[in-house]
Amino acid sequence: MLKKSDDKFLSLITMRLNGGCKLTHETEEFLEKYGKTILIVLPAFNEAKTIENVMEELLEKGMQLIVIDDGSYDETTSIVGKVHKKYPQQVHLYRHPINRGLGAAISTGLEASLSKNPRVIVTFDADGQHHIDDLVPVVKPVIEKKADVVIGTRNFQEMPFRKKFGNNVMNIITRIFYGMGVSDSQSGLRAISPDAANIMELHSRDYGVSSEIIGEIKRKDLTLIEVPIETIYTDYSLSKGTDTKIGLKILARLIKNIFK
């Protein structure tokens, strides 16, 4: 079930996206109250360029991090280890010996997070594209029991063409194969209640997991809210995530599965 986002937070985010007020003060107050109960699942594959800054920003606000090093062969492992020494009670590192894919990393992260008894679980990209301020509208509906899952939706008008096309393809694929239309099926910023995470059955090992999560929301009759978020586009972040090539590969795999 898809619901509209809370009007107050929708208007605040819209103002921020249009260059208006920032949520910094509200974020500080919110995270001071709830930060320690928010568990961040941070999949990472060769994210040495960005992961330290991403982790530090989240950890400084008191949040718990589950980092899944998905077979990285750059300096990601050592960087995460260094940050863990600084925040030994907040960082939990899980490592796949080989690169198993985003879906496998998210599955590992969700399973591990349930043992920590969080109030809300958040998937967060390690490439530096998310704003910490966007955590407020994303996690608030879950904390307030208004939603089982919240997806942070990116502004497709601001998205570079090669990303926009690939993400639109994936939105169509998600609607066709999983029977549920959403604004941004491939967003990496999501809040999930522990109860919802516990009943989700995820099998995809690659980027197809994002669409599979939408399918599980429909199949398990979970309540979904979408809220707009801001995205930081850099050459580095643009090299990550879903593009047209990945979208077509996922489509081919889904079609193949039908005829098995």
Domain boundaries, the chain: 2-158+184-232
Predicted TM-score (pTM) of this structure = 0.84
**CATH-assigned architecture of domain 2-158+184-232:** Alpha-Beta Complex (3.90)
Say how far apart CA 66 and CA 194 lie, in whole Å: 14
Structure tokens at 51: 């992961």
- In the chain, the percentage of residues whose pLDDT exceeds 70 is 80
Token match 């969080």: residue? Answer: 118
pLDDT at position 164 = 84
Higher-pLDDT residue of 16, 208: 208
Higher-pLDDT residue of 200, 247: 200
Q: Which of helix, strand or coil describes residue 104?
A: helix
Residues 249-257: contacts with CB under 8 Å, at least 24 apart: 249/206, 250/170, 250/173, 250/206, 250/207, 250/208, 250/211, 251/169, 251/173, 253/208, 254/173, 254/177, 254/208
Cβ–Cβ < 8 Å for 23, 47: no
pLDDT at position 250 = 66
Q: What is the DSSP string of 118-164?
A: -SEEEE--TTS-B-GGGHHHHHHHHHTTS-SEEEEEP-TTSS-HHHH
Mean pLDDT of 95-118: 96
pLDDT at position 215 = 94
Q: What is the pLDDT of residues 127-177, one digit of tens each?
A: 999 989 899 999 999 999 999 999 999 988 888 777 788 888 889 989 998
Higher-pLDDT residue of 173, 83: 83
CA–CA distance from 240 to each of 55, 63, 192 (Å)? 18, 25, 23
> 16 pLDDT exceeds 50?
no
> 4 pLDDT exceeds 50?
no
Say how far apart CA 101 and CA 248 lie, in whole Å: 17
Say how far apart CA 107 and CA 114 lie, in whole Å: 11
Mean pLDDT of the chain: 86
pLDDT at position 21 = 40
CB-based contacts of 164, cutoff 8 Å, min separation 6 = 156
Say how far apart CA 186 and CA 229 lie, in whole Å: 13
Q: What is the pLDDT of residues 170-215, one digit of tens each?
A: 899 899 988 999 999 999 999 999 999 999 999 988 888 999 999 9
Identify the bridge partners of residue 91 per DSSP, sorted by sequence position: 65
Mean pLDDT of 68-88: 97
pLDDT at position 147 = 98
